[in-house]
Homo-oligomer: A and B are copies of this chain.
Amino acid sequence: MEKPKNSVLIQFKSIPENVSLARVLVASIGAQFDLTISELDELKVAVSEAVSNAMIHGYLNDPDKNVEMEILCFDEKLIIRVTDYGVGIADVQLALQPSYSTEDDRMGLGFVFIQSFMDKMDVKSKLNQGTTVTMVKNLVHQQES
């Protein structure tokens, strides 16, 4: 693979404050690429969904577990990878279905949001080993107006 222009790896505790931290981090990367406000909001939503899934589902809200996020910046795209070493997903195809959730009170739209806001999503998971969600955002270099 082509060498990234920038790469950042971050590891943080599985607590709700750190969802915001992950959002700020991705926003400040996004600001470097001067996206539009809507594009940046979409990136932030996708990252929030992946990170909160890792905390809520992967780690069952155990604050002592660590979530990892890796951001790779290329000229034409951003790759963001969120990893937990938690319970894993038994059937990924099923988990991706709109409105499927293993918890009654949840909407089951996290993966749907990620897929609609990012250009590519890939989920790798093994039971009791954890889950990695890889998201790709293409950077369309628009003309300055």
Contacts and interface: CB of A to CB of B under 8 A. Distances in A.
B10 A18 contact: no
Contact of A8 (B7, B8, B11): B11
B15 A6 contact: yes
A21 interface: yes
Interface string A1-39: 000001111111101011011001100110010000000
Contacts of A6: 12-13, 15, 17-18
15 contacts: A6-B13, A6-B17, A7-B13, A8-B10, A8-B11, A8-B13, A9-B12, A10-B10, A20-B28, A20-B32, A21-B29, A24-B24, A24-B25, A25-B25, A25-B28
Given A8-B10, A9-B10, A9-B12, 15 more contacts: A6-B15, A6-B17, A6-B18, A7-B12, A7-B13, A8-B13, A8-B18, A9-B11, A10-B11, A17-B32, A20-B28, A21-B25, A24-B28, A25-B25, A25-B28
Interface of A: 6-13, 15, 17-18, 20-21, 24-25, 28-29, 32
